[in-house]
Structure 1
Amino acid sequence: MSGGPVVLKAEGLSKRFGGLLAVQNVSFSQYAGEILAVIGPNGAGKTTLLNLLSGVYRPTSGRLELLGEDVTEKPIEYRCHLGLGRAFQIVRPFPEMTVHENVTVGALFGKRGKTLSAAREEAYDLLERTGLAPQADKAAHELTLLQDKRLEVARALATQPKVLLLDEVMAGLRPAEAQEAVALVRSVQGSGISVLFIEHIMPVVRDLADRVVVMDQGQVIAEGTYREVTANPQVVAAYLGTEAELHA
């Protein structure tokens, strides 16, 4: 999927930490309704890039547009209110609060001026959508890993994003659980939300991504469909290894 309105646009993003150039001159565009994967070996700069996109870090140089607005210098909360959500690899819910309360917090944070009763109603709708309604009154620390991942996505969705960033949300899941998570991400896309995700599990990338951006040593080395990037000799050399490893 490509074409149509651009929802996220990076132009020459770089981030330096002392002598380390963690992200170097990264440029790409993401289109409305698209699922875009960012892959690459450990240390390639993927999570640093996600931190630049979400506002955790300010770039050393470069520019970022979200939904047509320059947000390069805007803080996390501004980007969230504009329409950027993020789910993290390491899930950190409020452990003693219920599942429903955790998602309600996200709903209150996402849009200014929302009443508590409206946020609670929206939260329950999201629990239904993410398959967590039966766990609504459980304390968050009682959830399984798969349920934790679903809660993380539900909390991000509660902010009503137009673009959702997912940081290795399949990590630690068994294959059957990963397929359930793939279905959940597909349902997010089906609701009109654009998704950008980092992932190491190549079958997940194959099944989900409309396009793939490949990073190595802080730079983009390839961009295209899954078939295109996995046939790229530079990508194979930097990240994928043998054909047998790729399809494992």
Structure 2
Amino acid sequence: MEAKVEVSDHQAVLRADGLSKSFGGLKAVQDVSFSVHAGEILAVIGPNGAGKTTLLNLLSGVYRPSTGRLHLLGRDMTRATMEERCHAGLGRAFQIVRPFGEMTVHENVTVGALFGKPGMRLPQARELAQSLLESTGLAAHADRPAHELTLLQDKRLEVARALATQPRLLLLDEVMAGLRPAEAQEAVALIRSVRRSGVSVLFIEHIMPVVRDLADRVVVMDQGQVMAEGTYREVTTNPLVVAAYLGTEPELGSGQPQSEQTGQVRA
């Protein structure tokens, strides 16, 4: 297993301070504060409706916060657009993959490269796309239309497109969803390789063995708030987390939350 990273606050790539988002009377995210550090993989978990995807939307610029501040690489990005955040070093891969189906795999990644950094020229974008296809295991499919890919290949393409924007921090929203166990392990290996390339990662996930294997730290959300933060062992033995989400104290190293096994809750 890859060694976890020890980090300190002065290395923060992203810092959220008191982020809140309300939709009418619904407080979807309430006073959320945390940091993501250089070289770190941070997991965000919690039950359905906990506010995890809303949080990612606040970080990536889909929503603007009702209150709070967001800093990326030391810059205040609270009011920045999605495009400005992307250009500043924030990438995102979505749970539901929507590639340009009639374009080739290589062309899909090239588009990401052209969008990610102002002044990127087409020859440079094509070269970067080819390099990313090789590192994500898609080089053999470069000339195939994207609609012909399998689900796992689609997930790899989504990550490659996000990496083509040359992020310093990559946001991943349940990229393991729908994958078989062997495919999920391939995705785990891919995310580890992303970290080795110098990109920090924040990911939402409900498969606890994946969280255990990948995360340096875990943030647990419930009802729009941060309930706990710490290592996998620390949060999965926290009585508040056990009561609100896990349902029973899990064996470290195996299994999913009891509520997930019964189909009642997803992180």
Who is 1:235 aligned against?
241
Match of 2:199 in 1: 193
1:30 match: secondary structure: strand
Among 29, 33, 45, the alignment partner of 1:27 is: 33
- Which residue of 121, 129, 135 corresponds with 2:127? 121
SS at match of 1:14: strand
Partner of 2:86: 80
TM-score (norm 1): 0.98
SS in 2 for 1:243: coil
Partner Cα distance (2:90, 2:148) in 1: 28
Aligned to 2:42: 36
TM-score by length of 2: 0.91
Question: May I ask how many residue pairs the two structures share in their alignment?
Answer: 248
- Name the structure 1 match of 2:23: 17
- Equivalent in 181, 190, 193 of residue 184 of structure 1: 190
In structure 1, the partner of 2:97 is 91
Indicate the RMSD between aligned Cα atoms, in angstroms.
1.0
Query: Structure 2: how far apart are the matches of 1:2 and 1:221?
Result: 21
Name the counterpart of 2:140.
Answer: 134
Shift in Å at residue 241 of structure 1? 1.3
Distance 2:43 2:208 in 1: 10
Partner of 2:170: 164
State the 1:244 CA deviation.
Answer: 5.2
Distance 1:212 1:51 in 2: 19
Share of identical aligned residues, percent?
Answer: 80
- Which ranges of structure 2 fall in alignment gaps of 5 or more residues? 1-5, 256-267
What is the CA–CA distance in structure 2 between the aligned matches of 1:6 and 1:34, rounded to whole Å? 9
Deviation string, structure 1 residues 179-207 (Cα, Å, up to 9, x no partner): 00000000000011000000000000000
1:130-185 deviations in Å (ceiling 9; x for gaps): 00001101111100000000000000000000000000000000000000000000
The one of 187, 212, 217 aligned to 2:223: 217
Alignment deviations for residues 101-128 of structure 1 (CA, whole Å, 9 cap, x no partner): 0000000001111111110011010000
Q: Give the Å deviation of 1:30.
A: 1.1
Q: Alpha-carbon deviations, 1:78-99, whole Å to 9, x = none?
A: 0000000000000010011000
The ranges of structure 1 where at least 4 consecutive aligned residues each deviate by more than 4 angstroms after the TM superposition are: none
Consecutive unaligned residues in structure 1, runs of 5 or more:
none
**Distance in 2 separating the partners of 1:121 and 1:29:** 33
In 2, Cα distance between the equivalents of 1:242 and 1:61?
Answer: 35
Alpha-carbon distance in structure 2 between the residues aligned to 1:218 and 1:16: 10
Which residue matches 1:103? 109
SS of the aligned residue for 2:195 comes to helix
- Residue 209 of structure 2 aligns to which amino acid in structure 1? P
Task: Report if the CA contact (8 A) 2:236-2:250 is conserved.
Answer: no
CA apart distance, 1:5: 1.0
